[in-house]
C-alpha cells in the first residue's frame, strides 16, 4: 500500500484555478494537467461554496428550531402560571364576598 500525503490548497488558489476553468478556451483535461489536479478535486472545489451555503442554512435552521422549542417551553410555563393565578384569585374571591 502506498502512503501518499493528502494535499491541501488555499482558497484563493482554488478560486484562481476555477476561474481558469471558466475561460472559453479552457479544455478540462488540459486544465487538469496544468493544475496538477484531478477532475474529482476540481468538482469538489466547484461545489464547496454551495456546500458552505447549505451548511450555513442548516445551522440557521437548527438555531431557529432551538429557539422555537425554548419559546414553546416558556409559553407552557406562562400558561400554567396563569392557570394557577386564576384558581387562586377565584379561591380568594369567595372570601371577599362574605360579610
Q: What is the pLDDT of residue 95?
A: 80
For 33-52, the three-class secondary structure string (H helix, E strand, C coil) is: HHHCCCHHHHHHHHHHHHHH
pLDDT, tens digit only, all 99 positions of the chain: 556 676 677 777 777 777 776 776 666 667 667 766 777 777 777 777 776 677 777 888 899 999 999 999 999 999 999 999 999 999 888 887 666
Q: How many residues does the chain have?
A: 99
Q: What is the pLDDT of residue 99?
A: 60
Using CA atoms, how far residue 47 sits from 1, 34, 36, 84, 97, in Å, is: 30, 20, 19, 56, 74
- Residues 13, 35 contacting (CB under 8 angstroms): no
All three cell numbers of 39, joined, read 477532475
Q: Is the pTM of this model over 0.85?
A: no
If one counts every other C-beta atom within 10 angstroms of the C-beta of residue 44, the result is: 13
Amino acid at each position: 500500500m502506498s502512503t501518499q500525503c493528502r494535499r491541501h490548497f488555499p482558497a484563493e488558489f482554488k478560486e484562481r484555478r476555477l476561474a481558469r476553468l471558466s475561460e472559453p478556451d479552457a479544455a478540462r483535461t488540459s486544465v487538469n494537467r496544468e493544475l496538477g489536479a484531478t477532475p474529482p478535486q476540481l468538482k469538489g472545489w466547484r461545489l464547496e461554496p454551495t456546500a458552505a451555503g447549505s451548511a450555513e442554512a442548516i445551522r440557521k435552521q437548527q438555531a431557529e428550531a432551538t429557539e422555537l422549542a425554548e419559546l414553546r417551553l416558556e409559553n407552557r410555563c406562562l400558561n400554567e402560571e396563569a392557570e394557577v393565578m386564576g384558581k387562586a384569585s377565584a379561591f380568594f374571591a369567595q372570601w371577599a364576598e362574605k360579610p
